[in-house]
Amino acid sequence: MGGAPSRVHQSSTLGEVPESRATEHATVWRKEGYHDDFTKSPILPDDREDITEYVELLAMLHSPVGQNFLGRFSMEIGTQHVLFAWSDIQEYRAIPTVDYRFTKAKQIFGKYLRASATALDFLPEGLGEEIYNCLDQAREDKNLLGPDLFLQVQKVCFRHIFEFTFQELKNNYARRYEAYQEEGASRFNRIGVNDFWYMEKLGEGAFGKVVHVVKKSTGRHYAMKIQHKTELLRSFARSLSRLDNEKMVFQACNHPFVLQMDYAFQTELHAIIVLNLVTTGNLQDAIDSSPKKRLDEPRARFYAAEIVIALIHLHDMGLMYRDLKPRNVMLGMDGHIQLADMGGVGDCIGDMSARKIRKHGTTVKRRGTLMNFKRRSIMGTKGYMAPEMAKLLNQSNDQRQGYDEAVDWWSLGVTVYKMLTGARPFDPPPWARKQSVVAMLRRQTEFEKLQAEVEYPRYMSEAAVSFVSALLRHDVHERLGSGPNGKEGIKSHAFMAGIVWERLAAKNVEPPYIPTQGPVCDEPLYDSFEEMMEGMHEADARYNKKKRNLNEKVSPDDQKWFATWRYISPQTLRIEMGLAQAMDDIEANFKVMQLTGEGSLSASASATSPHLRALKNTGKAALAMGKLLRLGSNVSGTPSAPSAAVSPR
């Protein structure tokens, strides 16, 4: 998302950022929408007959408002490190795919359970070693890792939060807790159009506008996609259950190589999603700005490997991307890629609405159940379409045999060829510019164009030619990525030699290029959402755009299709809580140790047992140690810096 705005500034100068005061035009997350039966949670300790207070805390930990309140309070009293661990484990439990689950599990182990980590040194003896052994076995079979890998750690963390944060809050800060209860009783969380400054228009699509906005409470820049509910209803009239597909895909992915959706909310007229604003361009920009209008092989390999990780994540969720091309691959400020535009994503099982992509952290896709399902709808960009997709362009519905996720591997082949040469493999060569030849090529169908033999420049390495040609196999059963070896065939190909997949998935590899941030508008063009929408409607009328009643309201019956149009991402929630920077500091320390080898599983293994023998058992002694850490003191009573309980050493 996000083109370069016309007015320039490198950073926001919006001044002091006030707290959000949104009270109207807002989505309110009600407790009923998220409230599970917490009395049955395996997290709850079993040492009390009356578990009312335990359930009270668990409800707080599962609500955005509750987490916000506990996060800010824990930062004040120095117990935030335990809440960090809880938050990371919650995020782990919700990961739907085994590859990314393994990556996240290693991060959690390195941050909180490795030999020199101190933030959770009240854990029972042997627990870290047990988890290490599970991770070691999962190297051979990642399916061994379930969502409950860190359940025992989370239970101990819950007990610590209960004793040293929650009880402290209730007993010594009762008025603040009462104020939270009064606020939390009426709403779960609130986000609305009044929470943003409206900077400028970035673009528009079939359903509405995309605008550059700034969140008032944090000063962060976003791209807001404003969609008219009535337009969505008309476009998805034949399949209303798919109306929220794009939002659901963004919401479920939550992957470092997929553009993040930070918020989703609605007004009476609009369904809105708020995405990360990218001002550093996309792969096509990178190609166009290179001196030779193409990328060198190491850089192309790096981007291709990250695209592979992102596609595998989607495929393992039962999704196919269907529109892979350089313009849809954004380059983040950290030099890593992010897939954008989930509007074309299709599912591999035929019923995305019933699946809802994931629930309770379980993997929804089992490859054996998908082998017979084929999609027949046309999606994608000519020049990047696989032949089995292109063939549908000239077929009626009853003639179509369909396609599966193998179309993404073909598009990857085209994309890698484009990165390495600056052109697509089936584009007409320079000599074909004569009028007669151009006329002939225009008469060819898209499928016929893909029958041409691909020419590879001499400067492409043998491994690169082999990689691209294997991806551009017409027979999907022989195509790299969907053949007998599946995704492992791509990872083990000679072109990918030198890629350390586990570290790359965790972004623990230095990118070959750090892009320059594009200009960012720093002054709002509009005083309010309403003023902006009115101005855009007037501009549409002046330029004779399609006349629509943009103030048309949806009926109460149709409103049911937007009943779940609400979301706040875990990372965004940390930012709102004020915890993001502290958690990022821990993550940064861990990544440094990964690069030096200290944070790896093998490095931790040698020191695991001696360290764990020194850990305290849970109970009063462990809780007393936790309180000492909270107060910023060590065992001997010598004052220590509060960060000692936060940053692993």
Spatial neighbors of 620 by CB under 8 A, at least 6 apart, are none
In the chain, the amino acid numbered 72 is R
Asked if 522 and 11 count as a contact pair (C-beta separation under 8 A), the reply is yes
CA distance 325 to 419: 10
Angle between helices 151-161 and 127-138 (to 10 degrees): 140
User: Left (φ > 0), alpha (ψ -120 to 50) or beta: where does 34 sit?
Assistant: alpha
Asked if 321 and 408 count as a contact pair (C-beta separation under 8 A), the reply is yes
CA angle 171, 176, 178 (to 5 degrees): 80
Which long-range contacts (C-beta less than 8 Å, at least 24 apart) are formed by 275-278?
275/1, 275/222, 275/223, 275/224, 275/225, 275/250, 276/1, 276/222, 276/223, 276/338, 277/1, 277/2, 277/212, 277/221, 277/222, 277/223, 278/1, 278/2, 278/223, 278/330, 278/331, 278/332, 278/338, 278/340
In the numeric block, the tokens 């004793």 are attached to 163
Residue 126 tokens, joined: 């042997």
Terminal Cα distance for the chain, rounded: 38
CA distance 471 to 390: 16
CA distance 517 to 385: 31
Alpha-helical segments (H) within 109-150: 127-138
CA distance 507 to 254: 14
- 120-142 per-residue burial string, b: 16 or more CB within 10 A, e: under 16: bbbbbeebbbebbebbeebeeeb
Q: Are strands 261-266 and 567-568 parallel, antiparallel or unpaired?
A: antiparallel
Residue 431 tokens, joined: 């000599």
Please give the helix or strand (H or E) that residue 621 lies within, else none: helix 620-630
In the numeric block, the tokens 């350089």 are attached to 326
* CA nearest neighbour of 80 among 527, 556, 578, 558: 578
CA distance 225 to 78: 38
Cα four-point dihedral sign 173, 175, 178, 180:
negative
Q: CB-based burial of residue 354 (10 Å sphere; 0-12 exposed, 13-18 middle, 19+ buried)?
A: exposed
CA distance 37 to 47: 19
Active-site pick, 99, 244, 285, 323? 323
Asked if 264 and 247 count as a contact pair (C-beta separation under 8 A), the reply is yes
* CA nearest neighbour of 259 among 249, 268, 267: 249
Catalytic status, residue 557: no
Residue 340 tokens, joined: 């954008």
Rounded (to 5) percent helix, strand, coil in the chain: 50, 10, 40
Would you say 225 is a known binding-site residue? yes
CA distance 30 to 9: 39
Q: Which residues carry out catalysis?
A: 323
Annotated binding site: 225
Known binding positions for ATP: 225
